Structure 1
Amino acid sequence: MAQDSIRLAGATSAGGSLLAQLRARVLLLAAFVGSMWLVFFLSAALPFLHLNRHGVVPRTLGGLQGILFAPWLHASLVHLIANTSGLLILGWLCMWPRIDNFWQATIGAMLGAGLCAWGFGAPYTAHIGASGLVFGYAGYLVARGFYTRHILAMLVALFVAGSYGLTMLFGPMPLYPGVSWQSHLGGALGGILAARATARSRARLL
């Protein structure tokens, strides 16, 4: 009887722990993506703020600020909606097994997308939007499966490659006018490098 009670308590604790993990991830992702929507509506309501000028402006000192700010700036509602689904799906997958993975992928993608747009973008342009993050998350998830060889990570990598493969292939190419292929390319490379660094760090700990 006492043993049954211990087992029940353990199961309850495990269920509560999983629920807490789910709640933490939902709240984080909602706040992260929700902040982009908040900035968009703020920009639309107060156009005199000219928030989009804080994007990445290639090879200018002031344009470096866009590495931090560009993912929160969008040219239109359609632009934001197009990025939101990728951020939610791929961002959620990046959060497992640890939330730290999400931040590693985010930082890698932001740095890669921002620096590539700053270094290779056309003069007198401004690069804005979170698509660099989307490509970074995709690159991170595919590369994580390759580097870790963990069965679940490999299954996620196959899902991402199957679902976003064409987008990942053609998005980093200069095919569409007005689309920052530099951000896409840099974001993907940043995500891949973040996955590699994470795998190496984990291997050293083991």
Structure 2
Amino acid sequence: MEENHFKFTNAVIGVPLFFVLFLWFVYWLEIRFGFDFDNNGILPRTFSGLQGIVFSPFIHSNIEHLYNNSIPLLVLLAALFFFYRKEAFGILVYGILLSGTLTWIIGRENYHIGASSLIYVLVSFIFFKGIQTQYYRLVALSLTVVVLYGGTVWYVFPKIDETISWEGHLSGLIVGFVLTFFYKKPEFKKVIKYDWERSDYNPSEDKFMQRFDENGNFVNPPKPEIIEETASEISPFFLSNSNVVYDFVENIEDINEKNESKPES
């Protein structure tokens, strides 16, 4: 697959905006009508807490929590839908479900809410998948993600901050890495423009490379081979498939007499 796989579509902007706006809409409903959606979060190892696997990414404790998750989601979802557009929806859905399930298994006995686990899924997938493909654009994207969000890796460890769900972060990191093996991208092939880029290229057969010695010094080009052409015999007579009748005269006087004898029309 070549570079034209990366195409800008409406989903690159539309999906991140819609997702983040929906998070703000849910928070507005909670504030406007006095709802408490925290109880709909993930409560590990309880039957009622299973609903949080689906609902927890859309619930936030306060506006600061929501704001801190909104900017990374916009950036990471846009990168996902641009560079991995065919896999994006699957990663988004399975990332939410699998990271929520793992959090439900390993989490503390408390409600776990917020889209931070999804953020860790996206960071992990984009980083590890870019390294696996070894394609220069995706590797550059992986390095960009490391520069922007590499510091967040510390929050997958316990006791760094007791107010955050490090279990959700760790679950997202693990799930994102695992998804890189389920979503295999085709190998990116570089477009071959020159003969020396081919695998079967032999410099000794290249006329240009023959002008350089082993040390790279310019040498006189080899003398061109002189091909001797054999002269072909040309027939002095006109050849034709039609019958040609030749009328020979002896001298010019006979020609004049013949012309004078023709009647005038």
TM-score range, shorter chain: 0.7 to 0.9
Distance in 1 between the 2:76 and 2:11 partners?
16
TM-score scaled to structure 1, two decimals? 0.81
Distance in 1 between the 2:9 and 2:71 partners?
19
Partner amino acid, structure 2, of 1:37: W
The structure with the greater share of residues assigned to helix is 1
Determine whether 1:39 maps to 2:26. yes
1:146 is aligned to: 131
Give how far 1:50 is off: 2.3
Give how far 1:57 is off: 0.5
1:54 is aligned to: 40
Give how far 1:144 is off: 0.8
Distance in 2 between the 1:164 and 1:98 partners?
19
Distance in 2 between the 1:44 and 1:163 partners?
31
Give how far 1:99 is off: 2.6
Partner amino acid, structure 2, of 1:189: I
Distance in 1 between the 2:91 and 2:116 partners?
13
Asked if structure 1 preserves the Cα contact closer than 8 Å seen for 2:43 and 2:111, the reply is yes
Partner amino acid, structure 2, of 1:142: F
Q: Which protein is bigger by CA-based radius of gyration?
A: 2
Asked if structure 1 preserves the Cα contact closer than 8 Å seen for 2:9 and 2:82, the reply is no
> How many percent of aligned residue pairs carry the same amino acid?
27
2:13 is aligned to: 26
Give how far 1:30 is off: 1.1
Give how far 1:98 is off: 4.1
Q: Structure 2: which 5+ residue stretches go unaligned?
A: 188-265
Q: Structure 1: which 5+ residue stretches go unaligned?
A: 1-13
Determine whether 1:94 maps to 2:94. no
Give how far 1:103 is off: 1.8
Distance in 1 between the 2:33 and 2:180 partners?
39
Distance in 2 between the 1:27 and 1:137 partners?
17
Q: 2:144 aligns with which of 156, 159, 166?
A: 159
Q: 2:122 aligns with which of 124, 137, 143?
A: 137
Give how far 1:88 is off: 0.6
Distance in 1 between the 2:94 and 2:173 partners?
9
Asked if structure 1 preserves the Cα contact closer than 8 Å seen for 2:15 and 2:77, the reply is no
Give how far 1:87 is off: 0.3
Asked if structure 2 preserves the Cα contact closer than 8 Å seen for 1:112 and 1:189, the reply is no
Give how far 1:66 is off: 0.8
1:8 is aligned to: none
Asked if structure 2 preserves the Cα contact closer than 8 Å seen for 1:138 and 1:191, the reply is yes
Question: 1:23-77 CA deviation, whole Å, 9 max, x = no partner?
Answer: 3321122111111110010011122x32221110010011111111100000000
Partner amino acid, structure 2, of 1:145: G
Distance in 2 between the 1:24 and 1:106 partners?
13
Give how far 1:148 is off: 1.4
Distance in 2 between the 1:100 and 1:133 partners?
18
Q: What is the aligned residue count?
A: 181
Asked if structure 1 preserves the Cα contact closer than 8 Å seen for 2:95 and 2:172, the reply is yes
Partner amino acid, structure 2, of 1:179: I
Task: Give the secondary structure class of the aligned counterpart of 1:116.
Answer: helix
Distance in 2 between the 1:83 and 1:180 partners?
13
Q: 1:113 aligns with which of 99, 103, 112?
A: 99
Which is bigger in relative contact order (C-alpha 8 A, separation at least 6)?
1
Determine whether 1:126 maps to 2:124. no
